[in-house]
Chain A
Amino acid sequence: MLAFTLRRAVQAIGVMLAVGVIAFAMFRFAGDPVNQMVSIDTSAAERASIRQSLGLDDPVLVQFGRYFINALQFKFGVSYQFRLPVSSLLAERMPATLELAICATLFAMVCGILMGVYSALRRDTVLARLFQAVSLIGISLPTFLIGILLIYLFAVTLGWLPSFGRGEVVKLGWWSTGLLTISGLKALIMPSITLGLFQMTLIMRLVRAEMLEVLRTDYIRFARARGLTTRAIHFGHALKNTLVPVITVAGLQFGSVIAFSIITETVFQWPGMGLLFVQAVQNVDIPIMAAYLLMVSLIFVTINLVVDVLYTVVDPRLRATVGRAS
């Protein structure tokens, strides 16, 4: 078990190294950073001294080593546009993105699983068919369109919810949260739904298909022959077996929720990392882009690791295979 986790962790480090190379390469192929920092009338001598002070005339490997060691300490350099350390910029924006991503994932999991179970158990009811139709919309409509439609309906026409921003936030140490104020919570509703809708429909369809599959298995038939109550069979036996693949998908989707939050944050002007990234792209702010790339891949890799470990917690058979392999 421990050996398995360690082996996965080593693989994760390998992935992070590869991403680090790509992030570093962005600096070298996206133009001369000195040009972006100085004005047109800076003399060549001055440019050379800046270059030297930034260590840009060292060999590539030395530069990469330096970048790598700094990245390990969460030092990602200074943003070209804000003239502030990238790490503090990201840290400032991260709570907004994480709160949004967690709310969106919770929304997707809770609604997705409930709707999926319902439409598997009551397959022929009108409501189950309605869920299926809604899920088709959720899968096929692009995120930004859903966001804009929600804004039009609930912010412009009905005026119930704010159309942009995070509302009032409360500082808890360095973490700023919108969960403690009414306006913060209200501001969270539409972005969460927009961001989580695709995941919700995905989870709903997955749960429905898996549940129907599991209900056909021999052990469910045997559970019925043992005289267990329908409730115990559906929610004790069938649902737990259904959740094994759902954990994987939901876990991996949490990563893409964070990555996709770029679009949602832009639509709702949500002051998170995604919005920061979009501004960085517009201004060719390479340190932010590189750091964001590293951050997102770190989150992805960590989630993968957690999902792998969670798997073995839910399914005892994997514990055995994992034990034998190690």
Chain B
Amino acid sequence: MTQPVLSVRDLEVEFVTRRATLRAINGVSFDIAKGEVLGVVGESGAGKSVTGLAVIGLIDPPGRISGGEIQLSGTRIDHLPPEQIRRIRGKRIGMIFQDPLTSLNPLYRIGDQIVETIRTHTSLSESAARRRAIDLLAEVGIPAPEKRIDGYPHEFSGGMRQRVVIALAICAEPELIIADEPTTALDVSVQAQIIALIKRLGRDHGTAVMLVTHDMGVIAETCDRVAVMYSGRIAEIGPVQEVVRNPLHPYAKGLMGAIPTLAGDDKRLVQIPGAMPRLSAIPPGCPFNPRCALAFDRCRVERPEPIRQGTQSVACHLFEPAKETAA
């Protein structure tokens, strides 16, 4: 197997507050191969965005990476000094944020913002960078790019602005794109276009994509593999078809059961009782145990480690071969 573009091992992220140290990410491991799209789903506060920010080195104090390893194409990047991780940001890892309306500096022409980014990472001249900016705008589907390049952000619609943001994220041809809920702030018809665009760019350039979202429809349509996060851990990870059709972890089952279908049986959607625990009150053992219908004694004391089940990997005591009968 070839080397993955991104390899995260046992990542831990902590936020040090006056009262306590809160662990937002606790032992997360995953790989993304070249050209692969990994979806990351979970409820708000599950640690999806923090994982993305940790990879690109943008965890602000009081937060910090307290353990584990992040490798980009075989090089470890989680302990680099700020200046070196800055050189990687935007060049080798591109990032797209949730809200395109606020991601662009309102006082600068979009062309200037793209040219600035290109020239930060390459040795192109001003005019060459501008030509490249026009090509990029054309590539992300902005009509009449040679005119629009001199527009200000407020002159673009939400969907068009997200295209500009994507152009900014890919302008140095990164190996990895982290898209943090790129479609949440857009309306549905535009969402599909943006998702198709990200997918096409990943395919054309062989870019690995980490797509953070809570929209299962987007995941099913776009991703090759999907990771389900809960309370700062990966509950289940596997190929998207398997995880959506045949989820193993009780939480993933609940999550998939909550997706309405067009098939139209009138059954009520499954609902997971309760809410995700706050970071300051994560229960011992499996963090999902208070909400899990299948929880047994061991779930309340021992933290489950990921277990391989075919192509999937699931962190649940139910799947431990020796203990299966005990359930």
**Nearest Cβ on chain B to A121's Cβ, whole angstroms:** 14
Instruction: Select B120's contact among A219, A225, A229, A240, beta carbons within 8 Å.
Output: A229
Q: How many residues of B contact A (CB 8 A)?
A: 30
Contact B107 A227 (CB under 8 A): no
Binary interface encoding of chain A residues 305-326 relative to chain B, with 1 for a CB under 8 A from any of its CBs, else 0: 0000000001111001000000
Binary interface encoding of chain A residues 94-117 relative to chain B, with 1 for a CB under 8 A from any of its CBs, else 0: 000000000000000000000000
Q: Which of A219, A229, A240, A315 has the most CB atoms of chain B within a 10 A radius of its CB?
A: A219
**Nearest Cβ on chain B to A84's Cβ, whole angstroms:** 50
**Nearest Cβ on chain B to A163's Cβ, whole angstroms:** 46
User: Which chain B residue shows the least CB distance to A244?
Assistant: B107
- Residues in A whose Cβ lies below 8 Å from that of B155: 320
Contact B152 A316 (CB under 8 A): yes
Question: Does B69 lie at the interface of the complex (its beta carbon under 8 Å from any beta carbon of A)?
Answer: no
Question: Does B56 lie at the interface of the complex (its beta carbon under 8 Å from any beta carbon of A)?
Answer: yes
Report how far A290 CA is from B230 CA in the complex, Å: 74
Report how far A275 CA is from B56 CA in the complex, Å: 62
Question: Does A35 lie at the interface of the complex (its beta carbon under 8 Å from any beta carbon of B)?
Answer: no
Binary interface encoding of chain A residues 223-248 relative to chain B, with 1 for a CB under 8 A from any of its CBs, else 0: 11111111010001100110010000
Given contacts A218-B97, A317-B154, A320-B154, are A228 and B106 in contact (CB under 8 A)?
Answer: no
Question: Does A122 lie at the interface of the complex (its beta carbon under 8 Å from any beta carbon of B)?
Answer: no
Instruction: Select A226's contact among B107, B108, B117, beta carbons within 8 Å.
Output: B117
Instruction: Select B89's contact among A227, A232, A320, beta carbons within 8 Å.
Output: A227
Q: Which of A217, A222, A240, A316 has the most CB atoms of chain B within a 10 A radius of its CB?
A: A222
Given contacts A225-B97, A317-B152, are A217 and B120 in contact (CB under 8 A)?
Answer: no
Instruction: Select B106's contact among A223, A227, A316, beta carbons within 8 Å.
Output: A316
User: Which chain A residue shows the least CB distance to B56?
Assistant: A225
Contact A316 B154 (CB under 8 A): yes
Report how far A227 CA is from B122 CA in the complex, Å: 12
Report how far A65 CA is from B84 CA in the complex, Å: 73
Question: Does B88 lie at the interface of the complex (its beta carbon under 8 Å from any beta carbon of A)?
Answer: yes
Report how far A240 CA is from B108 CA in the complex, Å: 10
Report how far A237 CA is from B56 CA in the complex, Å: 20
Question: Does A221 lie at the interface of the complex (its beta carbon under 8 Å from any beta carbon of B)?
Answer: yes
| Sample (29) of A-B pairs whose CB atoms are under 8 Å apart | A217-B102, A218-B103, A219-B103, A219-B105, A219-B106, A221-B58, A221-B97, A222-B104, A222-B168, A223-B105, A224-B58, A225-B90, A225-B97, A225-B169, A226-B89, A227-B86, A227-B117, A227-B172, A228-B90, A229-B86, A229-B120, A230-B86, A232-B120, A237-B108, A240-B108, A241-B105, A241-B107, A316-B154, A317-B154
Q: Which A residues fall within an 8 A CB radius of B?
A: 217-219, 221-230, 232, 236-237, 240-241, 244, 314-317, 320
Q: Which B residues fall within an 8 A CB radius of A?
A: 56, 58, 86-91, 94-95, 97, 99, 102-108, 116-117, 120-121, 152, 154-155, 165, 168-169, 172
Given contacts A218-B102, A232-B116, A320-B154, 5 further A-B contacts (CB under 8 A): A224-B58, A225-B94, A225-B169, A226-B117, A316-B152
